[in-house]
Structure 1
Amino acid sequence: MSPAGTARRGIPLHLLGVGTALPGEPVDNEALSSRLGIASEWVETFIGTRTRHFAVDLEGGHVRWTLEDLCTDAADRALADAGVEPDDIGFLVLATATPDALMPTTAALLADRLGIGGTPAYQLQSGCSGAVQALALARALLAEGTGGGGPGLVVGGDVCTKHLDLRQDFRRLPPGALVNYVLFGDGAGAALVGAAPGPRTRATLTHVTHRLDGLGLPPGQRVEWFGAADLEPYRPAATEDYKAVEDQVPVMALEVRDELLDACGWPPDSVDHLLPPQLNGRMTQRITRELSHGLEWQDVSCVAETGNNGNALVFLQLERLLARIHPGQRALGIAIESSKWIKAGFTVEAPHA
């Protein structure tokens, strides 16, 4: 690898522990069909998502878990997995597209709930790429020594269903809005990361990258934040251009794959696992086939069981990866955000025995 390539990679980010949280029992397609009038066979055939978890009650529409609740559960599990106490945390970074409120930030509320005081608490507003952006920020803080001296707590989560009105007449919704009730789920994940390996280091993120790549392209997804002045009956809170997503995401994912391999100087056949973009069951299967064509990469996916829960996805994938990766093995992780076309990715290596 060239010196310039080495500089781009930055310091390794050592993964000390991971935890995740999903609200309630899984909601299957039969339950959605009964509640929303969507054919369960259509969901299975064309979307490929079998279950998802909702932070709101499917029947009454009331909130059962907040984002703060889910992030607290995930963070507690990550701390326990790493054997780290809250007092040891040097900083906190939280990525979400669906904060509980505009102010105070969910990051600040989470820090208070965990009892983490006197440390920086950052919140990033982003979609599926936000978790990777949060990992990149953590790496920069650790490299510069401005993170408070201890390991960083990186959290990602979303409560997408709070933007979906479960009390409306679903017969009046266009298909483009109705499908959101099938695609999305809620959840959170967290990781403890450090600049140096420790006795309980699970794996190392050797490269983390993200960048805007949608100049001139209209957004592929938009999530509204309604104030009292702009509420309109039957105006959808979340909209997607599914055709644009189908066209753009596979191409961008291939570009990220090649950039990651080049940045690390890894031959494709030296990689063992792939963490592909988690859009929905069917699209993720298609992208995985294209990314790993001719290669014996093991797919690490969760979206068919969890739904698309945004910033929780990378942590859910990492948790599954850590359960199956062997000493010395490598993995590529790719996340594509369609809101304004953000490409993100990371590489993982397990310690040698």
Structure 2
Amino acid sequence: MGESVVRVLSAGTALPGPAIDTGALARRFGMDRLWEQWVDAFIGTRTRHLAIDLESGRPRQSLADLGTAAAEEALARAGLSAQDVDVMVLGTATPDQLMPATVNVIADRLRIDDIPTFQLQSGCSGAVQTFEVASALLRTGRHRTALVLGGDVIAKHYDVTADLAALPPGELVNYVLFGDGAGAAVLSTLERPGAPELRAVATRLSGLDREPGQVLNWYGQADLKAGPAAPANEDYKAIEEWVPVLAEQAVDDLLDELGWEREEIGYLLPPQLSVAMTRRITERLELPGAVEVSRVGDTGNTGNALLFFQLENLLAEMTGPSRAIAVAVESSKWIRAGIALERPADGGRAAEHTPEGN
């Protein structure tokens, strides 16, 4: 008996508050028109959603709030209830607390209990890693339906009183790159006509002897007494250099495993650091027939949520037999990751490939 086939039944997402454009950020932080033009030219993100009130800095929604809303939407779209879930996995770099795990808070709100739950601490690749953990469990045949989630609330690290003009570039970029959000998807071995099959997942640590491209700090009382330190910092030059390289390697990992040709890919869900970076990455990947599925221009970089926003669009567009590849790169200690999906012809199964494509 072969392994069970895992299908992606649905995706759901949640964003906090109204969309905030770059002009609103500029006015709040006293930045001039030249700064707005710089953001437009070099970042390209038009709007983002923040889980804090921009005027007061007070939290409005937590990751658990957003994750619960996204999960409820995904389950409703799949035509399932929370009681149908056998496994839950959350990927995040910004849990609400170190303990209890945010995945378990979400489970409690959904009235889910007595199942395996996992929380993966990771940057943008955490969303892909949830697919790897969940699909491995589903393919054993012991579980049937998994709820996978990804999300981040970056804005809780913002100092809304900061003088952005005085910040070093590694801190300043966080104010314009990121937005907050959460997403969820339902994976299942249930038969579902039209649901794409999860054909492969690849995650690889790629950071040996490489300095972190991003650092996100947690503070204890002893840390605070030792003196102030930036909660978040990015080496954007290193990210610009290495993310396209690792994204290309992630695509090659998937194509080599499945024996697929570049010309056979119908949809590409590229890494979503910013609009400008996405454009560079997509050009490098050289998938000539692939339709790009991107959301970063409207949501900002929502970290582990972005894959689910892209999936939400993909599932609506993937109406005929086709293949899709999604890629994410974690830049803190450098992880390349990706998933391959295939929607077979109605009533059929995706063709099997050996690693050599025979």
Q: How far apart, in 2, do the equivalents of 1:90 and 1:27 lie? A: 37
Task: State which of 22, 32, 35 in structure 1 corresponds to 2:15.
Answer: 22
In structure 1, the residue matched to 2:266 is 272
What is the Cα deviation at residue 144 of structure 1?
Answer: 2.3
Q: How far apart, in 1, do the equivalents of 2:30 and 2:41 lie? A: 16
Kindly provide the amino acid, as one letter, of the partner of residue 90 in structure 2: L
What is the Cα deviation at residue 130 of structure 1?
Answer: 0.2
Q: How far apart, in 2, do the equivalents of 1:206 and 1:11 lie? A: 11
Task: State which of 176, 194, 198 in structure 1 corresponds to 2:188.
Answer: 194
Q: Deviations over 1:53-83 (max 9, x none)?
A: 1000111100000000000000000000000
Q: Deviations over 1:181-218 (max 9, x none)?
A: 0001000000110124325x531111011010110101
Task: State which of 232, 240, 245 in structure 1 corresponds to 2:234.
Answer: 240
Q: How far apart, in 2, do the equivalents of 1:87 and 1:259 lie? A: 36
TM-score, with structure 1 as normaliser = 0.93
Task: State which of 316, 328, 348 in structure 2 corresponds to 1:323.
Answer: 316
Q: How far apart, in 1, do the equivalents of 2:144 and 2:136 lie? A: 14
CA contact (8 A) 1:11 1:206 kept: no
What is the Cα deviation at residue 172 of structure 1?
Answer: 3.3
In structure 2, the residue matched to 1:3 is none
Kindly provide the amino acid, as one letter, of the partner of residue 130 in structure 2: A
CA contact (8 A) 1:11 1:139 kept: no
Q: Secondary structure at the match of 1:144?
A: coil
Kindly provide the amino acid, as one letter, of the partner of residue 180 in structure 1: N
CA contact (8 A) 1:12 1:207 kept: no
Q: How far apart, in 2, do the equivalents of 1:36 and 1:45 lie? A: 19
Aligned-pair identity in percent equals: 51
Task: State which of 139, 153, 170 in structure 2 corresponds to 1:159.
Answer: 153
Q: CA RMSD in A?
A: 1.6
In structure 2, the residue matched to 1:180 is 174
Change (3 A) 1:286 1:220: same
Task: State which of 135, 138, 142 in structure 1 corresponds to 2:138.
Answer: 142
Please identify runs of 4+ aligned residues in structure 1 that moved more than 4 A.
none
Query: Where in structure 1 are there 5+ consecutive unaligned residues?
Result: 1-6
Query: Where in structure 2 are there 5+ consecutive unaligned residues?
Result: 347-358
In structure 2, the residue matched to 1:306 is 299
Q: How far apart, in 1, do the equivalents of 2:228 and 2:181 lie? A: 26
Q: Secondary structure at the match of 2:105?
A: helix
Q: How far apart, in 1, do the equivalents of 2:286 and 2:308 lie? A: 21
Q: Secondary structure at the match of 2:98?
A: coil
Change (3 A) 1:247 1:12: farther
In structure 1, the residue matched to 2:28 is 35
In structure 1, the residue matched to 2:99 is 103
Q: How far apart, in 1, do the equivalents of 2:195 and 2:19 lie? A: 28
In structure 2, the residue matched to 1:350 is 343
What is the Cα deviation at residue 11 of structure 1?
Answer: 5.4
